[in-house]
Chains A and B, each alone.
Chain A
Amino acid sequence: MPRSTATGLRALLLTALLSVLACAPPGIANETGAQDFQQIERGRYLAAAGDCAGCHTDPRGGRPYAGGRPIQTPFGRVLAANITPDRDTGIGAWSDAQFDAAVRGGKMPNGSRLYPAMPYPYFARMRQEDVQALRAYLNTLAPVRNDVHSNQLPFPFNIRAFMRVWNALYFKSGVYRPDPRKSPSWNRGAYLVTGPGHCGACHTPKTPLGGDLSGKPLQGYSIQGWFAPDITDDSRRGLGDWSPQDVAEYLKNGHNRFAGAAGPMSDEVANGSSQMSDADLLAIATYLKDQHSHAPQISPVSLQDPAMVAGSAIYQDLCSACHRGDGRGIPYLIPDLAGSASVASDKPTSIVRVVLNGAKTVATEGEPTGPAMPSFKWQLSDTQVAAVTTYVRNSWGHAAQPTAASDVRKARKQLDASGN
């Protein structure tokens, strides 16, 4: 009967598990203790915090951490590496020191340089014992044979030696140093955000060469067809209206009373922050709420502007049933547009994309609903999408540049090209 079957299965699994634990994975050239439970757990936690699986697992049916996922960079495509302990195609043959040099220094065992699609400039802030814990965890994975040729960049970017120049410009080594004037929670948050969490990889504006723009940390950047919004405490474009608890709740559940995570952030929540402790999430919130940016004030587009008139009518017709007339949706279900950092961001990238393509928010243990918005691509012309996004970005206290129909056309082409 079901019950006895289930018990039998459990016993079988337990036996299998014990035998795996008894014989440590063969042939791993490392010095970390394979059976230090606490270290492995810490590594597993950091792998989640850094969402390593997010890049290192191919979403087209790839095995976890076996690499192959294409990562779009401004210079072309790289494929994420296989970081399972396979000796030939993964990192099984690396020493701990070689692993550390790659993660924190961007250096491969053969002396060549990694591309910063692997966010080693952030991981450089990590403490050595955390990097070793990460290694210990990765060692527990089943080795997967998957030969990935990471470098798919066009000439001249495919010459890895250029990375020496890039590193000279943008890479600073050095472990995170706590600020004694701040609380332990603030410092923990700073460590997670600037180190393993590598929030700035998406949220910090970049130079034309893809390095972090100095002096503008976490103030928003276009990436992968989305705009990763300003996540400083800025009241107009950032998290100003959110309490630290709101920030922590969003990271834990993907939803709070204002917003729901979609796009790349929904992967981050599902694989990353939803797995983190409440204390760490509150620490991240504490740190973010203490970051400031000073966006120039601009005036909203006039209500008499033809785009605003048309946009208002489209909004009433198609958007207001869910997002309501005042742009305040339904807490935890329909995201607010009023006061939203994604709406108010410098570029309309995300809002245009969501109107065109629709979006599904993340479903998590804490908020399993995962509500979605439909695509309006088939229903609205470029001019209409431009009008309604201009309206939303200039209503309820928002002020932003009007959306150009040509930007919508470009976004539509890109979505079509990517098969969306």
Chain B
Amino acid sequence: MTERLPSKDVVIVGLGWTGSIVANELADAGLQVMAIERGPWRDAAMSYAPNYAQDELRYRIRHELFLRPDQTTFTFRNKMSQTALPIRTWGAFMPPNGVGGGGVHWNGETWRFLPSDFVLATHLKQRYGEHFLPADMTIQDWGVTFQELEPHYDRFEYLCGTSGTAGNLKGEIRDGGNPFEGPRSREYPNPAQEQPFSHTLFAKAARELGYKPFPQPSGNMSRAYRNPLGVRLGPCTYCGFCEWFGCANYSKSSPQTTILPVLVRKSNFQARDNCEVTRINLDSSGQRATGVTFVDSAGQEFEQPAELVILAAYTIFNVQLLMLSGIGQRYDPVANRGVIGRNFTHQTTSDVTSFFDPARFVFNPFIASGAIGMCIDEFNGDNFDHGPHGFVGGGYMGQVQTNGRPIESTPVPPGTPSWGARWKQAVRENYLSALKPGTGVHGSMYSYRDVYLDLDPTYRDRFQRPLVRITLDFHENELKQNAFLTDRFAEIFHAMGARQIVKEYRKGPYDITAYQTTHLCGGAIMGTDPSTSALNRYLQSWDVPNLFVMGASAFPQNAGYNPTGTVAALAYWSAAQIRSQYLKNPGPLVHA
């Protein structure tokens, strides 16, 4: 028996960054808000206490904070001609779970996309001509501009206390910041973090090569901070347990450390944890959501009626709920029709491991934070002339090494045996003097006709719902981009004085078992044309106007940056439009 709960003004699916942001904005507008979260409640000090959180085996290797694949998973294949198989242990990306979502385990890299990223298709065609782009590339403009998002980026950065150095303040280029960034209306709320030795050495070498290095914008605090909601954060201790871990030192911005303490005090906000939404309910017209159905941990099914439904889950789960609820036309890559599942993307990353003379270089790699790092942006987006190179896109690159944790941080020169006394000796010799930035080259992935999400014909979840099927492979454009960027990156380590450099190019086929960031994007994209996008420029469903879909699933393609800043800015942008326009006159905000 499904129990019908009292109706709410708003129901929010997922209580991560976007769910928390939208919940707080709409609760402030006086609405009764219910958030439903699949995973457990997580409190900073209690759920990952600082006296046990630095446990690499538990959190990094055994994926403590993430969804369990036996709860639900996806199937994967590279090509449309292949049969997809279920993912049984997470590899390429880590689906978050629980209150705070990915905001608990992220590194805190808080970037803005370039102004040209938001008008990508128009910009590239203007600069390089229609035929420069691969025929099957399906990139689009976003329908929203950098200028429109700037105040919302700013709000998120001040919420988080982002530490950084402005490179473009109201159009004025500033030394020490990223000269390629779009104009920002004011300084970062906190100065950049202190940088460890290897990071400053990278910056010095980059500068000598003619680049303009700058500190990575960081959600790890460079000093104590009180955000505009009155919530406090403390200075980062550079413990090196950031990505994959929660921070109970109150030093990493997360929903727990920035919004939730205020949100949970509001009498018009409620949340249910350990409850999984199984579908969005529609009325008989199919054009109006009436709420959601969810199942609690005891298996009891509930219906939560609501006037407004906000989908704020992880990329793939947003897309899955739309498909399973029959909202929007599912994408068909053969006919090149439909929108739900289209323009799915990830990130094109690679790394360079470099070995220095232990007698001359002691890097102490364990001193680090999640978003520490010195970066350059010369090879991101369209910051350089792609004409001679025959590819589009790019990424930032930097010495962004976040840790020297013992299980994973054992770089040894090629040719070293993989076990035994000689391996141990090589680890000892190189631990303090080898550098392994991780995702040092952080490149874009643009969208293609045959990279998409749909429902698997065979495999089902515990509710007998079809799993999402991922069809994803690298295309020539991204592999060329990565080879070019990785070579430029390696040159900087050479200039730093490395005696041996190992370039780890990203190569096809796309490998679902190797970690490559959790930045899955697209599948329910925003745009200006309902025939090629699921959402209008305010993240409102074209088909069901009382449904808004947050998150990176709205990205038409992925840029060469970490997505969280843009995900959050879009959530504020959408919430502002709901408050100022939609509530006065509920209905489509854009008439296509």
A: residues with CB less than 8 A from B are 1-3, 5-6, 318, 321-322, 330-334, 358, 360, 363, 365-376, 379
Would you list the 4 A-B pairs with minimal beta carbon distance, nearest first? A374-B49, A372-B45, A2-B9, A330-B234
**How far does the alpha carbon of A232 sit from the alpha carbon of B281 in the complex, in Å?**
62
Residues in A neighbouring B308, C-beta threshold 8 A: 2
Interface size on B, as a range, is 35 or more
The residues of B that contact A366 with a CB separation of less than 8 Å are 230
Docked CA distance A50–B49 (Å):
35
B interface SS class: loop
Give Cα A360 to B50, complex, Å: 14
A10: nearest chain-B partner, CB-CB:
B30
Nearest-Cβ distance from residue B276 to partner chain A, whole angstroms: 25
Query: Which residue of chain B has its CB nearest to the CB of A380?
Result: B51
Bound Cα distance A263, B261 (Å)? 19
Q: Measured between alpha carbons, how far is A3 from B578 in the docked complex, in Å?
A: 12
A332–B232 Cα distance when bound, in Å, is 8
B10 within 8 A of A: yes
A367 and chain B: residue at smallest CB distance: B230
User: Would you list 23 pairs from A and B whose C-beta atoms are within 8 A, ordered by A residue?
Assistant: A3-B583, A5-B7, A5-B9, A6-B30, A6-B32, A322-B50, A322-B249, A330-B234, A332-B226, A333-B224, A333-B233, A334-B234, A360-B46, A367-B230, A368-B261, A369-B230, A371-B232, A371-B250, A372-B45, A374-B52, A374-B248, A376-B51, A379-B51
The interface residues of chain A lying within 8 Å CB-to-CB of B57 are none
Q: Is B390 an interface residue (CB 8 A)?
A: no
The answer to whether the Cβ of B502 comes within 8 Å of any Cβ in the partner chain is: no
A-B contact count (CB 8 A): 84
Within 8 Å CB of B51, what residues of A? Answer: 318, 374, 376, 379
Given A2-B10, A363-B265, decide whether A368 and B50 contact each other with a Cβ distance below 8 A: no
Question: Contacts of B301 on A, CB cut-off 8 Å?
Answer: none
Say what secondary structure dominates the interface of chain A. loop
Which of the residues B233, B237, B239, B583 comes within 8 Å of A1, measured between beta carbons?
B583
B residues less than 8 Å from A376 (CB atoms): 51
The answer on a CB contact under 8 Å between B235 and A375 is: no
Using CB atoms, name the residue of chain A closest to B48.
Answer: A374
Question: Chain A contacts of B590 at CB under 8 A?
Answer: none
Residues of B within 8 A of A367 (CB): 230, 232
Closest to B29 in A: A2
How far is A375 from B583 in the complex, measured between Cα atoms in Å? 46
Find out whether the CB atom of A358 lies under 8 angstroms from the CB atom of B232: no
User: Are A2 and B226 neighbours in the complex by a CB distance under 8 Å?
Assistant: no
Interface mask (B244-261 → A, CB under 8 Å = 1, otherwise 0): 000011100000000001
Q: Which residue of B lies closest to A331 (CB)?
A: B224
Residues of A within 8 A of B234 (CB): 322, 330, 333-334
Q: Which residue of B lies closest to A318 (CB)?
A: B51
The one of A2, A333, A363 in contact with B583, judged by C-beta atoms closer than 8 angstroms, is A2
- B119 on interface, CB distance cutoff 8 Å: no
Q: How far is the CB of A293 from chain B (nearest CB, A)?
A: 32
The answer to whether B45 and A360 touch across the interface, beta carbons within 8 angstroms, is yes
A365 CA / B250 CA spacing, docked (Å)? 19
Chain A residue at smallest Cβ distance from B308: A2
| B149, CB-defined interface residue at 8 Å | no
B10 neighbours in A (Cβ, 8 Å): 2
Question: From A371, which residue of chain B is reached at the shortest CB distance?
Answer: B250
Which of chain B's residues have a CB closer than 8 A to the CB of A1?
Answer: 307, 583, 586
CB distance from B577 to the nearest CB of A (A): 15
B584 and chain A: residue at smallest CB distance: A3
